[in-house]
Amino acid sequence: MSQEGYIPGTCNLGVGEINRRRMVAAIGFVLSLSALTALVTTEASRQTRFGIFLPLMVMSIGWVQSRKKFCLAYGLAGTFNFGKMGQISRVADPADRAADRRTALIIFAQSALYALALTLLVVALPL
């Protein structure tokens, strides 16, 4: 597969893969809303409310990846995909793989911060 569209540390996803990440974000959003509804209706304790972090993390990772057009897992694995779903290509240059790993870690950290901020907001809610 050609590397058309691949930009080290910047873009490793084609349109189909970006749409998949949007779907992950939407699923995470629905799971987060469901969890929030359950927490509110059961008047869950503040400690229990920290459990919403996981669905918020799913939502955040999907959203950040779709916005940045960069897959965290592909970045860590040194791969990219601009073709059919599942047609993954390897990044040949070690410097490009290093740039991709850095970006993947940044995406993970950014997603975790978003999820943590939203989790703390849920924990702070007066139920």
Q: Tokens representing 62?
A: 């999907």
Q: What is the mean pLDDT of the chain?
A: 95
Q: Is residue 61 part of a domain?
A: yes
Give burial (CB, 10 Å; 0-12/13-18/19+) of 47.
Answer: exposed
Q: DSSP label at 83?
A: S
Q: Is residue 65 part of a domain?
A: yes
For range 113-123, the mean pLDDT: 98
Q: Is residue 46 part of a domain?
A: yes
* Domain boundaries, position 50: 15-124
Per-residue pLDDT band for 1 (boundaries 50, 70, 90) equals: very low
* Model pLDDT, residue 34: 98
Given a cut of 90, is residue 88 above it in pLDDT? yes
Q: Is residue 3 part of a domain?
A: no
pTM listed for this prediction: 0.91
Q: Is residue 10 part of a domain?
A: no
Q: Is residue 71 part of a domain?
A: yes
- Give the chain's domain count: 1
Q: Is residue 6 part of a domain?
A: no
Q: DSSP label at 80?
A: E
Q: Is residue 109 part of a domain?
A: yes
Q: Please name the helix (run of DSSP H) or strand (run of DSSP E) that holds residue 23, with its range, or none.
A: helix 15-41
